Chains A and B, each alone.
Chain A
């Protein structure tokens, strides 16, 4: 099935640093979602975006819905050890459509 391209594939950062990751698609989506998955667990929804150009924050996390509707960005400020995990973007074409997931960005935070 189709997957969205996420970059970077993995990141090793120091505690306190800011993190940026993005997700691109060859097709348009009307909803962009960002999830975090920890080992042996299911994904947890972090941020949902519903409008092109929308910028939404959830604590230290900020995500943007790209103007072209073909990309989205997630930023994490002042990273902490519990930010460790895999971050997935997901796109949805229509309200009741299925989700298409990105390839994931693996984040490691060192003290």
Chain B
């Protein structure tokens, strides 16, 4: 149980275009999902917290108009990188919190590698 998937696993796009990344909790419901970004040889940095049915909460320094988050259902959150630039190239990882779990643990997806050319 507690499996999180991401799609696509990797994507290459041209500068100026938009890219959508999906995060799904496959066997549990998640009222809260999180989006992280990880640059090579660095740790995970939280970008935003996504709550089902409400607006996402963005971390300081993350542009909400550039990184659009939609959490339309209890099993799906999407991150759209708008007008992507080469500096947006990174490994994007989502996690989902199991609402049934008393421990409130997050389960991570396998990540999406974005390359902007």
Interface string of B28-45 (1 = CB under 8 A from A): 000010100000001111
For window 62-76 of B, CB contacts with A under 8 Å fall at none
Contact: A42 with B108, CB < 8 Å? yes
Instruction: Judge if A1 is at the interface, Cβ distance under 8 Å.
Output: yes
The chain A residue sitting closest to B10, CB to CB, is A40
Would you call the interface of chain A mostly helix, strand, loop, or mixed? loop
Q: How many CB-defined contacts (below 8 Å) exist between A and B?
A: 50
Given known contacts A42-B108, A48-B103, is B34 in contact with A98 (CB within 8 Å)? yes
Is there an interface contact between A101 and B43, defined as CB atoms closer than 8 Å? yes
Of chain A, the residue at the smallest CB distance from B2 is: A45
For residue A74, CB closer than 8 A to chain B, the reply is no
Is B49 interfacial (CB 8 A cutoff)?
A: yes
Interface residues of B toward A: which range?
20 to 34
* Residues of B close to A43: CB separation below 8 A: 44, 93, 108
Given contacts A42-B93, A48-B103, A96-B104, contact A1 B46 (CB under 8 A): yes
Residues of B in contact with A (beta carbons under 8 Å apart): 4, 6, 32, 34, 42-46, 49, 59-60, 91, 93, 95, 103-111, 113
A side interface size, CB within 8 A:
22
A88 to B107, CA, bound (A): 14
State the CA gap A35–B105 with chains docked (Å). Answer: 12
**Residue from B43, B46, B95, B104 within 8 A of A88 (CB atoms):** B43
Instruction: Tell me the bound Cα distance from A63 to B42 in angstroms.
Output: 23
Question: Do residues A103 and B108 form an inter-chain contact, with CB atoms below 8 A?
Answer: no
CB < 8 Å neighbour of A44 from B6, B104, B108: B108
Evaluate contact between A42 and B43: CB separation under 8 angstroms: no
Give chain B nearest CB distance to A109 CB in angstroms.
19
